[in-house]
Structure 1
Amino acid sequence: MSALSPTLAAAGRALLRALLTLVFVVGTVLPLWVAGLWIFEVSDYVGKGPADVWAHLVTDEDAGQTRSEAWSLLVKTLQDAALGFVAGMLAATALAGAIVLSRAVESAVLPMAMILRSVPLIALAPLIILLVGRGYAAVAVMSGIVVLFPALVSIVFGLRSHSAQMRDVVQVFGGSSWAVLRRVAFPSALPALFASVRISVPGAITGALLAEWLATGEGIGYAIVSAAARSQINQVWSLVVVITLASLVLYLLAQLVESVVLARFGQEAGRA
């Protein structure tokens, strides 16, 4: 029970912090949203405020159908984002481990990763579609590319953050480089790993939106473009708000999980 109590306390503090962050962000964005439309004199036809979005999603006669459609689109986009997130994080973790183990791999992988990062995804999209088609593979590749580079850099930094003394202890007892990576480097890299998760969650959603627009023709990414083409401006703003709130909530959820896990491992690390 004594080991569990600090973890529960950390979870409570993290949950409170997440709720306060959510309230602060929403309370800050709404006035800025309204002020921006007023300052830049955006026409009522193009610029929709919070009241317009609320009416479109909640109080209009067809708001129930609108919410149902938005929910279906959101579920599809989150599925696509999850696919890209898992693909990108797995690739980043595997490549980071290989880079730490081998300088030759580092010399080969990092330049390629930087090239992928520097080339706009919209320019790579035709080639990706030609190679893997317009299905889930395209979503995984496009969204995974957005996740890969920042996660790779963060995880490599974390894997190299362990002390030389801890590495020497494993090697003195006959441990290989793989054992050092597994027993020392990865536990020490937990903060960096969770930092990359927090960064990658909104990145995966962005990649999924791009993949839906450029490749699959499904989800919120395509629905926003389609609604804009049909001059359904209320729908465009509403979908943007929905996916933005979903990104914020998922980011805060990742932050909450990070606080709980690190608090748990911190107790063990402190005793070590």
Structure 2
Amino acid sequence: MTALLPGADEATAPVPGRTGSLLWTALRQVATTLLVVGIVVLLWIAALRIWDVSPYVGKTPAEVWTTLFADDDSAELRAEIGALLQQTLTDAAVGFAAGMLTAIVLAALVVRSTVFEAAVMPVALVLQTVPLIALAPILILLVGRGYGVVAIMSAIVVLFPALVNTVQGLRSVTPQLRDLVLVYGGSPSTVLLRVGFPSALPALFASVRIAVPGALTGALLAEWLATGKGIGYAVVSAAGRSQNARVWALVVVVSLTALVLYLLAQLVETAVLSRFGRPGSAR
């Protein structure tokens, strides 16, 4: 069907200078991320000084660096944080996959049926507005404390923004292009698969960029409220024992991890949209 559509070959044909443009865009995104990190570090130091936070409670970037790399037990702490981070990333991956797949399937059904949209969107909105800390006891009773509750809690964080963005992307198909597919013998499902989803790629990747830190947040909440594993529980446990340097180290590590994952999602988005010649692929 795509071969029948005008411009289909041009959309996937090699574009002169695309590799150089893609590399330049990737370098610009990395430089922007480093600049953001620098600004956050400066604001961090300024906030501690402006509000005169006690050194016992507030740790500077230099103190966090010392905790992670210069103390006698830094190697042991890094190994422990590495194991905790691996658990948290596994939990986040489960929630990310569950939330994104659910959002994509629901979005496809929503654009095909207004009745289904009227039934699904209010439920998704309610799940978005109800605090997870209130839902956690019910979810634990229903599915236990394993990966099921992690998947559900992370998926709830991811679901609504991903669903809304994907629906808007799928509905971005112009009436003229939809009619063209139907004239050539395509069905509404063909419009959705061959035209809707390619047109929705920018919105879909925007959803991915939102979902990556969202899934990590959901995983941390699930670890704190349900599983008792990973960085989410380790932060609460260390705070309860007044191990403030450890708390700051854990928070910095998981924050940097979220930033790196967001950057990777941006780079993948740039590469894929550039491959398909989508507008904004060279941001």
Q: TM-score, normalised by structure 2?
A: 0.92
Q: Tell me, in whole angstroms, the C-alpha distance in 2 between the residues paired with 1:45 and 1:222.
A: 21
Q: Please give the root-mean-square deviation of Cα atoms over the aligned residues, in Å.
A: 1.4
Q: Tell me, in whole angstroms, the C-alpha distance in 2 between the residues paired with 1:18 and 1:92.
A: 27
Q: Tell me, in whole angstroms, the C-alpha distance in 2 between the residues paired with 1:205 and 1:115.
A: 21
Work out whether 1:64 is the aligned partner of 2:75.
Answer: yes
Q: Tell me, in whole angstroms, the C-alpha distance in 2 between the residues paired with 1:243 and 1:7.
A: 34
- Which structure carries more helix by proportion? 1
Work out whether 1:176 is the aligned partner of 2:194.
Answer: no
Q: Any idea what SS the aligned residue of 2:54 has?
A: coil
Which residue does the alignment assign to 2:111?
100
Which residue does the alignment assign to 2:29?
18
Which residue does the alignment assign to 1:218?
229
Which residue does the alignment assign to 1:135?
146
Q: Decide which of 56, 59, 79 is 1:48's aligned counterpart.
A: 59
Q: Tell me, in whole angstroms, the C-alpha distance in 2 between the residues paired with 1:5 and 1:48.
A: 50
Q: Which amino acid aligns with 1:12?
A: L
Offset of 1:25 from its aligned partner? Answer: 1.1
Aligned residues: 267
Q: Tell me, in whole angstroms, the C-alpha distance in 2 between the residues paired with 1:104 and 1:260.
A: 37
Unaligned 5+ residue runs, structure 2? 1-12
Q: Tell me, in whole angstroms, the C-alpha distance in 1 between the residues paired with 2:95 and 2:25.
A: 26
Offset of 1:265 from its aligned partner? Answer: 0.4
Offset of 1:68 from its aligned partner? Answer: 0.7
1:168-225 deviations in Å (ceiling 9; x for gaps): 0111122211111011111100000000000110000000000000010000000000
Which residue does the alignment assign to 2:216?
205
Work out whether 1:111 is the aligned partner of 2:135.
Answer: no
Q: Tell me, in whole angstroms, the C-alpha distance in 1 between the residues paired with 2:132 and 2:28.
A: 34
| Greater shift in the superposed pair: 7-16 or 113-122 | 7-16
Q: Tell me, in whole angstroms, the C-alpha distance in 2 between the residues paired with 1:85 and 1:166.
A: 32
Please tell me whether the aligned partners of residues 3 and 267 of structure 1 are also in contact (alpha carbons under 8 angstroms). Answer: no
Work out whether 1:36 is the aligned partner of 2:44.
Answer: no
